[in-house]
Amino acid sequence: MLKLIKSLSAAVLLSVVTLSGAQASGGGVELKSVNWQHTGLFGTYDRAAAQRGLQVFQEVCASCHGLKQVAFRTLQDLGFTEDEVKAIAKEYTFEGGPDDDGEMFERSGKAFDKFPDPFANEKAARASNGGAFPPDLSLIVKARVGFENYLYSLMTGYEDAPADFDLTEGMNYNTYFPGHQIAMPSPISDEAVEYSDGTKATVDQMSKDVTVFLAWAAEPKLEARKHMGLRVILFLLVLTGLFFAVKKKIWSELK
């Protein structure tokens, strides 16, 4: 019993620490909080925001970061048509072959391809980024404490370093990054993209949009999972009601 109590205490402590970490960065600063549409029991992805987020990823993030776990064809889940998905895929080139002569060749992307890495390998990536290795963004939302709020806070958290802060040369000050020093310069600036739907491309808007897109990339089956969970709950409620009715009838006859 004592061991069980200790285990439960440790679990509770771990939960508290995790929850606290979700609210603060490594520097102890509370993260910005956004009421994301896709969170909660009945939440669904904001597809307009996710589509704009894809544009931000392609025009701002893709030069340094990959998205190698996401296939172009899955973009149809965000409301893109099959032809639109094919057009997006064709913007990228991949190695094809071998041909009849055994030679490899370049080909346009197809719907079944996945977003390619911007660099051939890790060494090439570090050489192009001053020694830093830009992470793949496929699962970045789930891989960071604070999830969507952390990513959004990070992108909107660039500021001039305080006068008493010893900022290493070549680093950038960010309020929400652990230690407040990050190699990546501020990736987003006002009007960095021109949204086709007329939405004003502010830093705040673009940060929210790309966060929604990356949240979808990390968990594209979120909505299906929620729908299945609700169906299971409803089934169990009905089944519980039937069992209760049967029990009541059986006991009434026995009495």
Q: Is the pLDDT of residue 183 over 50?
A: yes
Residue 1 pLDDT class (50, 70, 90 cuts): very low
pLDDT for the residue numbered 6:
43
Q: Is the pLDDT of residue 112 over 60?
A: yes
Question: Nearest Cα to 149, choosing from 62, 21, 55, 13?
Answer: 21
pLDDT of residue 22: 44
- Per-residue model confidence (pLDDT) at position 255: 61
> Average model confidence (pLDDT) for the chain?
88
pLDDT in the model for residue 16: 39
What pLDDT, on a 0 to 100 scale, did the predictor assign at position 242? 86
**Between these two residues, 102 and 36, which has the higher pLDDT value?**
36
**Domain residue limits, the chain:** 221-255
Across residues 169-183, what is the average pLDDT?
95
What pLDDT does 65 receive? 96
Span 4-18, pLDDT tens digits: 334 434 443 334 334
Work out whether the CA dihedral 148, 150, 151, 153 comes out positive or negative. positive
Q: Are 27 and 181 in contact (CB under 8 A)?
A: no
